[in-house]
Structure 1
Amino acid sequence: MERRTFLRGTVIAGGSAAFGGSLWRGAAVAAPAQPGASPYGALGAADANGIQLPSGFTSRVIARTGQRVAGTSYTWHPAPDGGACYADGTGWIYVSNSEVSTTGGAGAVRFDSSGGITGAYRILDGTNVNCAGGATPWRTWLSCEEVSLGYVYETDPWGVNAAVRRPAMGRFKHEAAAVDPVRRVVYLTEDETDGCFYRFVPTTWGDLSSGRLEVMVGGSGTSGPVSWTAVPDPDGSPTVTRRQVSSAKRFNGGEGCYYADGTCWFTTKGDGRVWAYDAVSSSISLAYDDSLVTSGTPPLTGVDNVTGSSSGDLFVAEDGGNMEICVITPEGVVAPFLRVNGQSSSEITGPAFSPDGGRLYFSSQRGTSGSSSGGITYEVTGPFRG
């Protein structure tokens, strides 16, 4: 089954993306976000690409599954999913997973300083249902397999070095990853109805070949202190990782994951929640819960991939819902940022900002056709809050 997700606990040009974590820690503990007016204004009419955007924003199609990326020889992969951006001299690179079985892998598009496409190529081959993942401070892309006993693969966004499988990071139904450079760990989500939230502690920072896989423990509540316990057998055989620690905290369908400024944000699609893990105090809270919206219809449903901007805004993509990317502000307001029309059998995947914060990349995994062969990858440009 094709699902979504992205990750991007992203680090751009070797530094952790700025994010208003100190504001968020207080806001998230106080109460989950509620509907309100978007800081970007109301959505306008659909543009030529079928995308509704706030005033001042424009969209363009970057790539389509089965077609060559403009000006290159690379045929864009099916079911584009999780992604991230990397600074590349005066330009940047956007990487994208392919969430199909057997031939999943990942590809990349290179841009010059003005946003022109200068190249596209494959960075990972022969892997299985590559859903989301995450960027590292040493500028690699962690591509995660969303299958039972799936692996994490460490790949080179420039396509020069061969991808490397990282079994020490555990074998389970991986979704997304996010790197915490302060505590020197990698957070990992798991797409199971009784899934767990993990962190990987490398033996040597910057080397993911060995280390300790830990699972979050801390009861069944939605807020309060948590702790971590080592997973005895990260290989997940004969006992799957999520069942090895009886006190492990359960999450219903882990999806996107994003770290900044002491907080790791992750989503769970089974209960429509956006969680905040405060790594400083080792506690969790809810940043959003669609069942706790106090008035009107929840603007954000089918929570999936998540990323953030330098202003402290979270951008959460929908798997289903009404095909929106919604913004959650540090002040606790949730509102639509964009809506994709005519693609109700798809999902939004892979949101990631260019290094300068002025362009947002994302994909409609199945496009207008509703199949993995119909994927479309977009770029949105405009006055994002700095």
Structure 2
Amino acid sequence: MERRSFLRGAVVGTSAAAFGFTLWQGAASAAPAQPGAGPYGTLGAADANGIQLPAGFTSRVIARSGQKVGSTSYTWHNAPDGGACFTDGTGWIYVSNSEINPSGGAGAVRFDSSGAITGAYRILSNTRQNCAGGKTPWNTWLSCEEVSLGYVYEADPYGVNAAVQRPAMGRFKHEAAAADPVRRAVYLTEDETSGCLYRFLPTTWGNLSSGTLQVLVAGSGTSGSFSWANVPDPDGSPTATRNQVSGAKKFNGGEGCHYANDTVWFTTKGDNRLWELDLTSNTYSLAYDDSLVTGGSAPLTGVDNVTGAASGDLFVAEDGGNMEICVITPSDVVAPFLRITGQSGSEICGPAFSPDGRRLYFSSQRGTSGSSSGGITYEVTGPFRA
């Protein structure tokens, strides 16, 4: 396996926290990650919340579907899904989608500098099956509808401004979004078995009301070069956006998407893959594929949401599998970071780091009940490596 070269740089974009990342480069030449000893060691016994963690880490429950959040008057939504963190003075805010249809939307929890919950509120209402999304560099939340001809909504995590529908970003079965301030683009995944990867180029950076929707064009292989082509009819009717451009590359169930320093990572659940786009060389490759794991069983299956940490580690959540969040290191090692026990009928959603990188938030969408009304949102605190 060729080692990826490392580049130290500042993160700007849709990463869950704004801090420096050590990044993977040389996408076309690197081999997919393989199992090995993770940077945090083995998992311990399940704690009081049913979560197995490495030594030095602790968990707490932040919110439960159908119950008030902390001492606030806000009732947490069903089926919590994609999420992100935003700075808020000396504290921060965690935003979470609701993947129910109808009346999905999104909610938020506000924390002070010590991590205490100081507020909770709705930031988006009356939308459909809001699955994942992404954070913008101008501190708004892009909430994506995972339905046919779904929209992207731009919501205010601070709860001041009303959410706005963004039809110029295309109408299709949206999943996640990741913003790239260098190329002034927003990358969008599509949750279809023959879905595409898109990018939206706003007419004015910071204003998503108008712009150009493009689709990735490439060969049928798992690595190579790519280009972008304009989607003639972004509203997807009568012809679906994924079927409008000859040569558009098809991906099997697009899920999470993450950008940092000239690289985009996105997952496809239909084939348990993590893809890597090198935007400097316009090449793509596999960062992980469970069918290419050698020397034992794959530690990561049911790949779903993805985020990054200050170390350059990627954290990938499972939809099913062993109900784990796995870490993939810059040295191409994949290992479990945590495991939720007793919730085999659920999936892990919305991993996002607090702005200081010391806390990881995520949800079990259906909790112990296996129902969307049983969602649980967690926080894990510990010695995440810098």
Task: State the AA in 1 paired with 2:354.
Answer: S
CA distance 1:147–1:27, shift in 2 (3 Å): closer
Residue equivalent to 1:10: 14
Q: Is the 8 A contact 2:16 2:307 kept in 1?
A: no
Partner in structure 2 of residue 349 of structure 1: 349
Q: Residue type of the partner of 1:376?
A: I
**How does 1:250-329 map onto structure 2 within 5 Å?**
250-329=250-329
Shift of 1:29: 2.8
Partner of 1:3: none
Q: How many residues get paired?
A: 375
Mapping for residues 73-88 of structure 1, pairs under 5 Å: 73-88=73-88
Matched letter for residue 262 of structure 2: G
CA contact (8 A) 1:172 1:241 kept: yes
Verify the 8 A CA contact 2:132 2:143 in the aligned structure 1. Answer: yes
1:247-299 deviations in whole A, cap 9, x for unaligned?
10000000000000110000000011000011111110110000000110000
Distance 1:261 1:385 in 2: 19
| Aligned position for 2:214 | 214
Alignment correspondent of 1:246: 246
Give the alignment of 1:1-386 within 5 angstroms. 10-11=14-15, 17-21=19-23, 24-26=24-26, 29-386=29-386
Q: Counterparts of 2:142 and 2:212 in 1: how far apart (Å)?
A: 17
CA distance in 2, matches of 1:156, 1:263: 26
1:28 Cα deviation after fit = 6.7
User: How far did 1:18 drift?
Assistant: 3.0
Letter in 2 for 1:19: F
3-state SS of paired residue (2:242): helix
Task: Give structure 2 stretches of 5+ with no counterpart.
Answer: 1-11
1:138/1:357 CA distance change after superposition, 3 Å: same
The amino acid that maps onto 2:20 is A
Structure 2: distance between partners of 1:178 and 1:358: 22
What is the distance in 1 between the residues matched to 2:123 and 2:376?
19
Do the aligned partners of 1:54 and 1:337 also contact (CA within 8 Å) in 2? yes
Give the Cα separation in 1 of the matches to 2:362 and 2:265. 19
- Is the contact between residue 215 and residue 231 of structure 1 (CA under 8 Å) also seen in structure 2? yes
Indicate if the aligned counterparts of 1:358 and 1:383 stay in contact, CA closer than 8 A. yes
Matched to 2:22, the amino acid is G
Alpha-carbon distance in structure 2 between the residues aligned to 1:93 and 1:321:
29
The structural deviation recorded for 1:12 is 6.1
Determine the C-alpha separation between the residues in 2 that align with 1:339 and 1:114: 26
Secondary structure in 2 matching 1:20: strand
**Deviations along 1:84-131, whole A, 9 cap, x unmatched?**
000100000000000000110000000000000000000000000000
Give, in whole Å, the separation in 2 of the partners of 1:9 and 1:147: 25
The SS at the match of 2:304 is strand
Between the aligned partners of 2:213 and 2:219, the Cα distance in structure 1 is 19
Mapped partners of 1:83, 1:182: distance in 2:
23
Cα RMSD (Å) = 1.2
- The equivalent residue for 1:5 is none
Identity between Structure 1 and Structure 2 (%): 79
Contact 2:28/2:223 (CA < 8 Å) preserved in 1?
no
Give the alignment's TM-score, normalised by structure 1.
Answer: 0.96
**Does the CA-based 8 Å contact 2:81-2:365 persist in structure 1?**
yes
Question: Quick check: 1:28–1:287 contact (8 Å CA) kept in 2?
Answer: no
Looking at structure 2, the residues matched to 257 and 70 of structure 1 have their Cα atoms a distance apart, in angstroms, of 30
Contact 1:91/1:113, CA 8 A, preserved across alignment = yes
Q: Is the 8 A contact 2:15 2:307 kept in 1?
A: no
Deviations 1:351-382 (A, max 9, x none): 00000000000000000000000000000000
Q: Distance in 2 between matches of 1:298 and 1:12?
A: 26
Code of the aligned partner of 2:202: P
Q: Runs of at least 4 residues of structure 1 off by over 3 A? A: none
Could you tell me the TM-score, scaled by structure 2's length?
Answer: 0.96
Cα distance change, pair 210–126 in 1 and its aligned pair in 2 (3 A)? same
Query: Would the alpha carbon gap of residues 351 and 28 (structure 1) be closer, same or farther in structure 2, given more than 3 Å must change?
Result: farther
Query: How far is 1:25 from its partner?
Result: 2.0
Q: Deviations over 1:186-223 (max 9, x none)?
A: 00000000000000000000000000000000111111
Where 1:168 maps in the other structure, the secondary structure is helix
